[in-house]
Amino acid sequence: MATTLTNFFKPVAGSSDKKAEGTPAAADSHADGDSAAAAAAAPTASPAKATAASRKRKSAAPASPAPAAPAAAAANNGAEAASAAAAAVKSATKAADAANEAAATAADGDEPAAKRAKADSLASLVPASWARVLSSELDKPYFGEIDKFLRAQATAKVQVFPAREHIFRALDLCPFDKVRVVILGQDPYHDVGQAEGLSFSVPAGVKVPSSLQNIYKELASDLGAKNFTKPKHGHLAKWAEQGVLLLNTGLTVKAHEAGSHKKVGWHRFTEAIVKAINKDLKGVVFILWGKHAQDAAKGVDESKHYTLKSAHPSGLSASRGFFGCKHFSKTNELLTKQGKAPIDWQV
Q: Mind telling me the catalytic residues?
A: 187
Which residues share a beta bridge with 211? none
- Quote the DSSP letter at residue 105: H
Q: How many CB atoms lie within 10 A of CB 212?
A: 20
Distance of CA 346 to the CA centre of its chain: 33
Task: Please tell me the distance from the alpha carbon of residue 78 to that of residue 82, in angstroms, as a whole number.
Answer: 6
- Quote the DSSP letter at residue 63: P
Report the length, in residues, of the chain: 347
**Comparing C-alpha atoms, which of 144, 148, 183, 141 is closest to residue 273?**
183
Contact (Cβ atoms closer than 8 angstroms) between residue 170 and residue 232? no
Contact (Cβ atoms closer than 8 angstroms) between residue 187 and residue 258? yes
**Comparing C-alpha atoms, which of 193, 231, 240 is closest to residue 212?**
231
**Comparing C-alpha atoms, which of 136, 1, 14, 178 is closest to residue 82?**
1
List CB contacts of 117: < 8 A, sequence separation 6 or more: none
292-301: list long-range contacts, CB under 8 Å, 24+ apart. 292/184, 292/186, 292/249, 293/184, 293/185, 293/186, 293/249, 296/184, 296/249, 296/267, 296/270, 296/271, 297/182, 297/184, 299/274, 299/275, 300/274
Q: How many CB atoms lie within 10 A of CB 86?
A: 13
Query: How would you label 88-111 residue by residue, b for 16+ Cβ within 10 Å and e otherwise?
Result: eeeeeeeeeeeeeeeeeeeeeeee
